[in-house]
């Protein structure tokens, strides 16, 4: 799963036969044997979640348990705003932040930090003996640390009461359908579902199965089909501009089908277990401006960044420069969250420039035109082009190669390179057809059926 989250895909994925057999057994026990006992269902969910997460690397479970236990106790010690002095509550919140961000920072960014310090020292003429630092990145660590931090932050703000049932809290933290690839759930939304009795409903079960199958189709048929062709261009020593443009379009299709496919599987499997996870993608390539894109793409994460970083930094409440500063801070962190690489940082910076630039330019565009049919029709393909340019930054791992791509002659290349670009473009159109048909069915057919 390339670039869809903070880490690579899970060692046991939703589309492997091991998971299918595991989930089939869980469903049978969950509903047939434990259907009358919420406690037994929760015990089963936690046990299966730890098996799933620690399938290849059991020590990953220690990190998950550390984050969960830390924030459960911090939330309990914090209590309600009127129960503890504000200073003590701040220290407890800082403890939660330090524990989670410290763990995340070490496993995800320690190697990146060491490499860059060594490079700076070398550039300054100093001898830098770079230590060998091979840190395995635990899958999903960015997801569950953000999820547990939101629990303590909401308690600190007085928006959530601390829980005393550790088992139910652990279901919220470790729920395996969304543990390693999202969506990033909030305690205020998922915990009430964990604390309520689940009743088997055939309609929910079959709709969840259909959603999971559609997600698997997007992942295996769409994303996995186009990925090798796009990857071949990005490892090519001297691709033409047309080849890079076609490969970028292919990657735009791949990452949407891959990430939204995993999310659909997560939401579908959760629905079969009696849970409703938050919608994470809302046709992001139909966005009409940069802000609209982030309201549609990875919604659970972008809303997390908005509520816990952008707004506290000043958001849209302060001056224009405060808003711009909050935007750059939020988007730079968003880029770095996706991976320890300067190209991810550059991708976040690129989207920050897009958002602030659009805010400035849009003041000169009449609202009637922007909101009208013609304006929106023109805005969608233009925004898609800007989004694809961002995906080129996201996909390329070396800044020097990225600069090289951008300096290639637009109409350059041999006849063979143009042929390769044309074939890849045709592949993009072919694999996009199921997504387009699915969109048309959702927008034109389903509303009439429901009516």
- Looking at residue 146, the DSSP 8-state letter turns out to be H
Contact 187, 154 (CB under 8 A): yes
Q: Is 152 exposed, middle or buried (0-12, 13-18, 19+ CB in 10 A)?
A: buried
- Looking at residue 140, the DSSP 8-state letter turns out to be T
Mark out the alpha helices in 12-134 (DSSP H runs).
Answer: 17-28, 38-53, 60-78, 86-123
Rg of the chain over Cα atoms, rounded to whole angstroms, equals 23
Two structure tokens written together for 249: 């379009």
Q: Is 443 exposed, middle or buried (0-12, 13-18, 19+ CB in 10 A)?
A: exposed
Q: What is the pLDDT of residues 203-244, one digit of tens each?
A: 999 999 999 999 999 999 999 999 999 999 998 888 999 999
DSSP-assigned letters across all residues of 67-85: HHHHHHHHHHHH--TTTS-
Give residue 106's pLDDT. Answer: 83
Whole-prediction pTM:
0.87
Closest CA to 255 of 368, 374, 388, 138: 388
Give residue 244's pLDDT. Answer: 94
Q: Is the pLDDT of residue 116 over 70?
A: no
Contacts of 449 (CB under 8 A, 6+ apart): none
Give residue 366's pLDDT. Answer: 82
Give residue 122's pLDDT. Answer: 63
Strand, coil or helix: 326: helix
Give residue 262's pLDDT. Answer: 92
Mean pLDDT, all residues of the chain: 86
Task: Could you list the beta-strand ranges (E) of 185-274.
Answer: none
- Looking at residue 200, the DSSP 8-state letter turns out to be -
Q: What is the pLDDT of residues 233-287, one digit of tens each?
A: 998 888 999 999 999 999 999 999 999 999 999 999 999 999 999 999 999 999 9
| Buried b / exposed e along 254-274 (16+ C-beta atoms within 10 A) | bbbbbbbbbbbbbbbbbbbbb
d(CA 363, CA 342): 32
Give residue 373's pLDDT. Answer: 83
**Is the backbone peptide bond immediately before 183 cis, with ω within 30 degrees of 0?**
yes
Contact 50, 61 (CB under 8 A): yes
Please, what is the Cα angle at 383 between 439 and 336, to 5 degrees? 100
* Share of residues in the chain with pLDDT > 70 (%): 90
- Looking at residue 197, the DSSP 8-state letter turns out to be P
- Looking at residue 10, the DSSP 8-state letter turns out to be P
Give residue 322's pLDDT. Answer: 87
d(CA 304, CA 96): 17
d(CA 344, CA 340): 7
d(CA 32, CA 291): 46
Is 338 annotated in the active site?
yes
Q: How many residues does the chain have?
A: 451
Q: What is the pLDDT of residues 360-413, one digit of tens each?
A: 888 888 888 878 888 888 999 999 999 999 999 999 888 889 999 989 998 888
Beta-carbon count within 10 A of 117 CB: 12
Give residue 168's pLDDT. Answer: 95
Confidence bin at 5 (pLDDT 50/70/90): very low
- State the catalytic residue, choosing from 57, 324, 338, 404: 338
Beta-carbon count within 10 A of 414 CB: 10
Q: Which phi-psi region, left, alpha or beta, contains residue 360 (left: φ > 0; alpha: ψ -120 to 50)?
A: alpha
Q: What are phi and psi of 161, to 5 degrees?
A: -90, 145
């Amino acid at each position: 799963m390339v670039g869809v989250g903070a880490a690579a895909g899970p060692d046991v994925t939703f589309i492997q036969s091991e998971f299918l057999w595991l989930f089939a057994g869980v469903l049978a026990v969950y509903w047939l044997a434990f259907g009358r006992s919420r406690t037994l269902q929760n015990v089963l969910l936690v046990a299966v979640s730890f098996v799933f997460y620690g399938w290849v690397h059991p020590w990953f479970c220690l990190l998950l348990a550390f984050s969960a236990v830390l924030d459960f106790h911090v939330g309990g010690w914090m209590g309600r705003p009127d129960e503890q002095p504000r200073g003590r509550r701040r220290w407890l919140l800082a403890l939660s932040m330090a524990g989670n961000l410290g763990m995340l920072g070490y496993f995800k960014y320690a190697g990146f930090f060491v490499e860059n310090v060594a490079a700076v020292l070398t550039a300054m003429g100093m001898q830098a003996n770079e230590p060998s630092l091979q840190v395995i990145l635990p899958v999903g660590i960015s997801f569950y640390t953000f999820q547990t931090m939101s629990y303590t932050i909401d308690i600190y703000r007085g928006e959530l009461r601390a829980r005393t049932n550790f088992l139910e809290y652990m279901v919220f933290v470790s729920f395996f359908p969304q543990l390693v690839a999202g969506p990033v759930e909030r305690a205020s939304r998922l915990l009430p579902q964990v604390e309520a009795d689940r009743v088997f409903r055939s309609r929910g079960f079959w709709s969840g199965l259909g959603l999971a199958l559609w997600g698997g189709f997007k992942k295996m048929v769409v994303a996995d089909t186009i990925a090798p062709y796009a990857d071949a261009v990005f490892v090519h020593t001297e691709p033409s501009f047309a080849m890079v443009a076609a490969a970028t379009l292919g990657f735009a299709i791949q990452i949407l089908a891959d990430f939204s496919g995993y999310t659909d599987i997560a939401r579908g499997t959760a629905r079969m277990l009696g849970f409703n996870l938050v919608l994470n993608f809302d046709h992001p390539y139909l966005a009409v401006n940069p802000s609209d894109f982030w309201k549609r793409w990875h919604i659970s994460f972008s809303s997390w960044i908005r509520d816990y970083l952008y707004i506290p930094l000043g958001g849209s409440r302060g001056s224009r420069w405060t808003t711009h500063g909050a935007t750059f801070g939020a988007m730079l962190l968003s880029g770095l969250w996706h991976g320890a690489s300067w190209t991810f940082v550059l991708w976040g910076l690129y989207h920050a420039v897009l958002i602030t630039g659009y805010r400035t330019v849009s003041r000169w565009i009449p609202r009637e035109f922007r909101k009208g049919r013609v304006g929106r029709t023109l805005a969608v393909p233009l925004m898609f082009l800007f989004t694809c340019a961002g995906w080129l930054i996201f996909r390329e791992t070396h800044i020097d190669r990225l600069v090289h791509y951008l300096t290639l002659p637009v109409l350059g290349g041999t006849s063979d390179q143009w042929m390769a670009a044309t074939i890849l473009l045709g592949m993009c159109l072919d694999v996009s057809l199921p997504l387009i048909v699915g969109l048309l069915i959702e927008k034109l057919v389903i509303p009439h059926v429901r009516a």
